[in-house]
């Protein structure tokens, strides 16, 4: 081991560098000023109370008048639309490209970088994103018929990948460097050869500096030929058509289809490879292309000797190059794909008398039109490590953008008019989940709270004022919506054995129930305390969970989810304003509960941060003019004109899961058994990674872990966060057959442990989420914890009920290591989802899915939650992927292959006599598919094996001891 050195004139040694963070506070992306005062108590506004939160200009302070973190009171009325005075349509939509308008049906998409620090070309985007297609945000909307073809030519016009990627074990740089005082900044500046008296102290500059002080192998991005886990090669790209049932590899003539394993390199990478002395770099791999690549998407698919049209629906496209997906999609590189077909034609004729009217023009007796809404929560900024000196000026796009612009625009509808909205949640991170709804009245958002605009008088005497509203008042302001589809699949229902398309009246969805999260404060209870109690109440039992997850007149949209809904302007609403609103859903991560618990405990020295609600006012509707001719129309009558359900979207029956005699002879699975598969998603991010004691006696046996062990003065050794976190998937988590499954696996196309399925068959999949909430003592002054730093504490396995009880009674125990639901997405074939089971505070599972439905992205609830679905592997032989749609998780390795084969002997499903159903109890499902224990989840959550193309890593390399907290 090298000697420790504090000489700022020489490079920092690894051990000294690690010690520097021991007593520090985490850096805020907003700057380097440490904060140690008690955390402010955030929460919903109570009438007459001043807004809580940090002072203006502190961490999380906003720009005023809009969405996101704000430091003070209500929004400026002068910045808010006054519908009666404006009286015109201001809604903006992405421009539309139709495949049939062009002889070659080809759209050129040029990947370009915004010139830093110039403003973005996207309206309302004052701090521009890093990358875009053609310099606009969002990308063009593609409209194509279900039997059509369209081509995308992707041109990568970015510069070379010059950043360095670390190979093997390494600490997470942003989590490691936690002390932000001037001394640390000076030492870091000295390590990089700069002026210690004038340090450049920004957390997004630190990865480069850590490369100089952490002794690990590094490789420049341009030299990486394979798929490596972690955020890397940000200038490499490709394309994914999310939701389309198309070939995952190549078409019969060899043209490229939806193959996300392809990589389009910038030309600068290839120039550096050819100039390299390493001859292995002088050739391209089969999946590599330089500069540009053309894709051909054929929507019609062959079955039974005929070409069938792709079902109509709302889908989208975005980049999917492993390691760069988050940074590129977070920049706004996404656009709609609207597949048009028989459902649309039937609705159009009923509403307008025409088969194909202009979709964005109000037409016919119902004033009918379509409207596109791409909502993207993009607070987690994308980072371009190859942007030269500007890399320390990381750009954050708007906290929530709608169609690439800052909300809120206005629509004008006549009384009785009907519109169809195609809504896409293009968010990329764990705080992007949304509850989509319409509120009666005009509402505005600022500082993480909602305000009602109250207008009085008319004309010159008209005045407006703002009053704060509670979550309960927002709930009561919701108005009716009708849902046509989800994830691009028109809803279906089964009545008396007949399956047909349907439309769902959302006012009847769990009607008459109370949302536990919006219960009013009890006597003597503050707003934040009431909010924490309401959040805890959501997980009391099955009824509370169902009432929290499923609410009337709203649609839950996780990352990548889409919904088509109808809104009808009430006939008696002339002169009224309505607010289109997307509310953050807090029950899918531990983030808000952590904040509220630490705030209540007033923990000295704890991380001071303010996380507002990432709610967004999507737009306003002003109802004006005379009623439309067909104003008495009942939207539900459209059910009668919907066409038959295609075979592709019929429910997956149990008999389709059963193995036939011929297949049994080749697979070895007995005839009549059902094809099943169990997987687990698990992983912990870096921000609140638990301190893990590393037994010193293991040091000699595991020298490869030297760089991720922190030795403190009393001899305690603590395992540090790994650079790529522990995001991983276990491909065979069937505990009935394998009670000791071993660690999960990060993504690698070559290691062979992945799902191998048989073409033109169906399987039942069960997904577990072993991402686990851990509890501990935040107050290190009262409870010393050698090696603890920032919010990294000794963390323990504990039930939600026990942790919440101890938090309420003493305040000493709170959530220390956060978990999140993982939005599972599978390519090519949709999922017939039977169950979404959420654990209550005692760990018992409850199905919150009211009825089975088609989806292509579904959240797997944390702490051992479970999803059960069935899917058909029809029409295409080839390789595709499933992954988490928190895209940083996918880049870190939470992705695996699905290999579809035509030989039953190569499939690796597991046969079962009994399968699950929507009607079964959770206990009955657990008898078929055993649940993981708390101890197993702990080990899964903090372990992985990485077989990436740059070398194998087994983290941590020894079996973890599950920590228990005593009662003292």
Confidence class of residue 75 from pLDDT cuts 50, 70 and 90? confident
pLDDT digits (tens, 9 = 90+) for 645-674: 999 999 999 999 999 999 999 999 999 999
* Whether pLDDT at 608 is above 70: no
Contacts of 697 (CB under 8 A, 6+ apart): none
**DSSP assigned state of 731:** S
* Whether pLDDT at 237 is above 90: yes
Lowest pLDDT segment from 443-452, 535-544, 821-830: 443-452
More confident of the two residues 487 and 47: 487
Q: Which two tokens stand for residue 259?
A: 């193959």
Contact 155, 291 (CB under 8 A): yes
**Spatial separation of the C-alpha atoms in residues 254 and 296, rounded to whole Å:** 10
Predicted confidence at residue 188, as pLDDT, reads 52
Alpha helices by DSSP H, 781-846: 800-810
pLDDT digits (tens, 9 = 90+) for 625-643: 999 999 999 999 999 999 9
Q: Which two tokens stand for residue 389?
A: 């000196």
Predicted confidence at residue 780, as pLDDT, reads 83
Predicted confidence at residue 200, as pLDDT, reads 52
More confident of the two residues 285 and 952: 285
Q: What is the DSSP string of 252-312?
A: TTS-B-S-TT-EEE-HHHHHHHHHSS-GGGGS--TTEEESEEEEEEE--EEETTEEEPPPP
Predicted confidence at residue 68, as pLDDT, reads 34
**Spatial separation of the C-alpha atoms in residues 464 and 462, rounded to whole Å:** 7
pLDDT digits (tens, 9 = 90+) for 843-865: 999 999 999 999 999 999 999 99
**Spatial separation of the C-alpha atoms in residues 214 and 252, rounded to whole Å:** 49
Contacts of 189 (CB under 8 A, 6+ apart): 195, 196, 198, 199, 200, 201
- Give the helix/strand (H/E) hosting 328: helix 325-330
Contact 437, 481 (CB under 8 A): yes
Contact 954, 960 (CB under 8 A): no
Question: How far is residue 243 from each of residues 299, 422, 493, 558, 561, measured CA to CA in Å?
Answer: 11, 14, 21, 15, 10
- CA-based angle 385:389:394, to the nearest 5? 55
Nearest residue to 861 (alpha-carbon basis) of 882, 845, 850: 845
Question: How far is residue 50 from each of residues 16, 128, 449, measured CA to CA in Å?
Answer: 45, 32, 11
Contact 801, 827 (CB under 8 A): no
> Of 33-42, 109-118, 398-407, 587-596, which one has max mean pLDDT?
587-596
Lowest pLDDT segment from 207-221, 682-696, 784-798, 914-928: 207-221
Confidence class of residue 377 from pLDDT cuts 50, 70 and 90? low
Contact 479, 572 (CB under 8 A): no
Look up the pTM and report it: 0.89
pLDDT digits (tens, 9 = 90+) for 331-374: 889 999 999 999 999 999 999 999 999 999 999 999 999 999 99
- Give the helix/strand (H/E) hosting 374: strand 369-377
Which single residue is written with the structure tokens 């670390």? 166
* Whether pLDDT at 404 is above 50: yes
* Whether pLDDT at 7 is above 50: no
* Whether pLDDT at 591 is above 60: yes
Predicted confidence at residue 744, as pLDDT, reads 97
* Whether pLDDT at 116 is above 60: no
What's the chain's average pLDDT? 83
Contact 690, 776 (CB under 8 A): yes
pLDDT digits (tens, 9 = 90+) for 896-916: 999 999 999 999 999 999 999
Q: In whole angstroms, what separates CA 748 from the centre of its chain?
A: 21
Confidence class of residue 599 from pLDDT cuts 50, 70 and 90? confident
**Spatial separation of the C-alpha atoms in residues 713 and 787, rounded to whole Å:** 9
Contacts of 801 (CB under 8 A, 6+ apart): 841, 842
Predicted confidence at residue 192, as pLDDT, reads 52
Question: How far is residue 623 from each of residues 80, 343, 832, 961, measured CA to CA in Å?
Answer: 17, 28, 39, 63
What share of the chain in percent tops pLDDT 90?
60
* Whether pLDDT at 9 is above 90: no
Predicted confidence at residue 22, as pLDDT, reads 28
Predicted confidence at residue 376, as pLDDT, reads 84
Rg (CA), the chain: 27
Question: How far is residue 403 from each of residues 92, 334, 382, 896, measured CA to CA in Å?
Answer: 7, 10, 18, 31
Contact 859, 824 (CB under 8 A): yes
* Whether pLDDT at 124 is above 50: no
Nearest residue to 300 (alpha-carbon basis) of 261, 326, 339, 270: 339
* Whether pLDDT at 795 is above 60: yes
Which single residue is written with the structure tokens 């006939």? 571
Predicted confidence at residue 162, as pLDDT, reads 86
Contact 876, 759 (CB under 8 A): yes
Predicted confidence at residue 773, as pLDDT, reads 97
Contact 109, 139 (CB under 8 A): yes
More confident of the two residues 611 and 583: 583
pLDDT digits (tens, 9 = 90+) for 705-714: 777 887 777 7
Contacts of 861 (CB under 8 A, 6+ apart): 588, 769, 821, 836, 837, 838, 839, 867
Contacts of 738 (CB under 8 A, 6+ apart): 732
> Of 8-17, 127-136, 630-639, which one has max mean pLDDT?
630-639
Average pLDDT score over residue span 489-515? 96
Predicted confidence at residue 127, as pLDDT, reads 46
Neighbours of 525 (CB within 10 A): 13
* Whether pLDDT at 10 is above 80: no
Lowest pLDDT segment from 213-222, 406-415, 916-925: 213-222
**Total residues found in the chain within this entry:** 968
Nearest residue to 589 (alpha-carbon basis) of 684, 662, 699, 679: 684
More confident of the two residues 675 and 615: 675
**Spatial separation of the C-alpha atoms in residues 639 and 642, rounded to whole Å:** 5
Bin 524: left if φ > 0, else alpha if -120 < ψ < 50, else beta.
left
Q: Which two tokens stand for residue 411?
A: 């629509």
**Spatial separation of the C-alpha atoms in residues 909 and 849, rounded to whole Å:** 26
Q: Which two tokens stand for residue 334?
A: 């996404």
Lowest pLDDT segment from 37-41, 472-476, 533-537, 623-627: 37-41
Q: Which two tokens stand for residue 55?
A: 């002072």
Lowest pLDDT segment from 325-329, 366-370, 773-777, 856-860: 325-329
Nearest residue to 710 (alpha-carbon basis) of 724, 698, 692, 725: 692
Q: Classify 755 as helix, strand or coil.
A: strand
Count helices and strands (H / E) in the chain.
Answer: 18, 53
Average pLDDT score over residue span 930-947? 96
Which 3-state string (H, E, C) describes 536-584?
Answer: HHCCCCHHHHHHHHCCCCCEEECCCCEEEEEEECCCCCCCCEEEEEEEE
Lowest pLDDT segment from 103-117, 172-186, 276-290, 749-763: 172-186
Confidence class of residue 37 from pLDDT cuts 50, 70 and 90? very low
**Paired strand residues for 258:** none
Predicted confidence at residue 447, as pLDDT, reads 65
More confident of the two residues 191 and 618: 618
């Amino acid at each position: 081991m090298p000697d420790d050195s504090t000489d700022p004139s020489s490079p920092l040694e690894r051990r000294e560098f690690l010690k520097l963070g021991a007593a520090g506070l985490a850096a805020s992306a907003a700057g380097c000023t440490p904060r140690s005062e008690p955390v402010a108590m955030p929460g919903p506004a109570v009438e007459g109370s001043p807004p809580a939160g940090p002072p203006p200009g502190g961490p999380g302070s906003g720009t005023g008048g809009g969405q996101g973190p704000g430091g003070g009171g209500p929004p400026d009325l002068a910045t808010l639309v006054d519908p009666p005075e404006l009286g015109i349509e201001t809604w903006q939509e992405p421009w539309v490209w139709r495949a049939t308008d062009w002889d070659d049906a080809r759209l050129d998409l040029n990947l370009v970088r915004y010139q830093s620090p110039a403003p973005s070309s996207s309206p309302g985007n004052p701090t521009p994103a890093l990358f875009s297609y053609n310099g606009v945000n969002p990308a063009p909307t593609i409209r194509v018929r279900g039997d059509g073809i369209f081509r995308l030519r992707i041109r990568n016009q970015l510069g070379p990948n010059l950043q360095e990627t670390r190979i093997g074990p390494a600490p997470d740089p942003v989590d490691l460097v936690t002390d932000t005082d001037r001394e640390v900044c000076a030492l870091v500046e000295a390590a990089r050869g700069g002026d210690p008296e004038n340090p450049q102290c920004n957390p997004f500059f630190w990865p480069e500096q850590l490369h100089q002080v952490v002794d690990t192998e590094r490789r420049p991005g341009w030299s990486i030929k394979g798929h490596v886990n972690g955020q890397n090669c940000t200038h490499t790209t490709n394309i994914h058509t999310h939701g389309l049932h198309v070939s995952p590899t190549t078409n019969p003539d060899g043209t490229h289809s939806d193959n996300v394993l392809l990589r389009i390199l910038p030309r600068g990478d290839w120039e550096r490879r050819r100039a390299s002395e390493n001859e292995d770099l002088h050739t391209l791999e089969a999946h590599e292309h330089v500069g540009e690549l053309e894709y051909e998407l054929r929507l019609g698919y062959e079955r039974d000797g005929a070409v069938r049209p792709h079902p109509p629906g709302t889908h989208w496209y975005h980049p999917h190059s492993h390691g760069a997906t988050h940074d590129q999609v977070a920049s706004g590189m996404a656009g709609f794909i609207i597949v048009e077909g028989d459902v649309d034609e039937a609705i159009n004729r009923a509403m307008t008398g025409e088969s194909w009217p202009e979709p964005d023009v109000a037409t016919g007796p119902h004033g009918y039109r379509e409207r596109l809404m791409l909502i993207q929560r993009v607070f987690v900024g994308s980072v371009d490590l190859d942007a030269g000196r500007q890399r320390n000026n990381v750009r954050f796009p708007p906290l929530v953008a709608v169609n690439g612009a800052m909300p809120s625009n206005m629509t004008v509808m006549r009384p009785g008019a009907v519109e169809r909205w195609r809504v896409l949640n293009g968010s990329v991170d764990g705080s992007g989940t949304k509850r989509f709804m319409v509120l009666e009245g005009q509402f505005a958002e600022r500082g993480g709270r909602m305000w009602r605009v109250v207008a009085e008088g008319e004309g010159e005497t008209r005045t407006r004022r703002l009053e704060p509203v509670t979550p309960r008042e927002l709930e009561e302001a919701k108005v009716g919506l009708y849902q046509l589809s989800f994830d691009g699949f028109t809803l279906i229902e089964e009545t008396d054995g007949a399956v047909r398309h349907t439309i769902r009246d959302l006012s009847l969805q769990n009607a008459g129930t109370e949302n536990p999260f919006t219960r009013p404060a009890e006597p003597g209870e503050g707003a934040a305390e009431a909010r924490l109690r309401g959040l805890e109440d959501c997980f009391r039992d099955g009824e509370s969970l169902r009432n929290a997850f499923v609410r009337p007149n709203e649609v839950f949209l996780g990352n990548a989810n889409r919904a088509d809904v109808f809104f009808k302007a009430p006939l008696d609403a002339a002169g009224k304003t309505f607010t289109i609103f997307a509310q953050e859903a807090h029950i899918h991560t531990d983030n808000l509960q952590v904040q509220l618990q630490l705030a209540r405990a007033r923990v000295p020295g704890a991380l001071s941060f303010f996380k507002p609600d990432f709610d967004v006012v999507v737009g306003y509707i002003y109802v004006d003019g005379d009623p439309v001719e067909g104003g008495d129309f009942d939207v539900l009558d459209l059910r009668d004109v919907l066409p038959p359900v295609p075979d592709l979207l019929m429910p997956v029956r149990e008999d389709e899961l059963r193995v036939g005699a011929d297949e049994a002879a080749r697979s070895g699975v007995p005839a009549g058994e059902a094809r099943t598969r169990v997987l687990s998603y698990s992983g912990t991010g870096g921000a609140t990674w638990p301190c893990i004691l590393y037994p010193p006696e293991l040091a000699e046996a595991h020298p490869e872990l030297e760089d991720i062990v922190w030795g403190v003065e009393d001899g305690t050794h603590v395992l540090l966060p790994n650079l790529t976190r522990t995001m991983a998937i276990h491909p065979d988590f069937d505990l009935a057959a394998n009670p000791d499954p071993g660690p999960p696996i990060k993504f690698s196309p070559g290691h062979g442990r992945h799902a191998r399925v048989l073409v033109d068959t169906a399987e039942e999949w069960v997904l577990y989420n072993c991402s686990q909430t851990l509890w501990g003592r935040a107050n290190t002054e009262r409870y010393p914890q050698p090696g603890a730093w920032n919010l990294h504490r000794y963390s323990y396995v504990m039930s939600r009920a026990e942790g919440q009880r101890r938090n309420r009674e003493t305040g000493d125990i709170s959530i220390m290591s956060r978990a999140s639901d993982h939005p599972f997405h599978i390519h090519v074939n949709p999922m017939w989802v039977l169950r979404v089971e959420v654990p209550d505070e005692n760990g018992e599972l409850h199905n919150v899915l009211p009825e089975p439905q088609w989806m292509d992205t579904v959240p797997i609830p944390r702490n051992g939650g479970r999803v059960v679905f069935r899917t058909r592997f029809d029409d295409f032989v080839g390789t595709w992927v499933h992954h988490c749609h928190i895209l940083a998780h996918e880049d870190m390795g939470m992705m695996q292959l699905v290999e579809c084969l035509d030989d039953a002997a190569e499939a690796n499903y597991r046969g079962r006599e009994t399968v699950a159903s929507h009607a079964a109890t959770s206990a009955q499902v657990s008898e078929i598919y055993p649940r993981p224990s708390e101890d197993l989840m702990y080990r899964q959550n903090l372990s992985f094996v990485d077989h990436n193309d740059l070398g194998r890593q087994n983290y941590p390399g020894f079996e973890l001891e599950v920590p228990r907290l005593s009662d003292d």
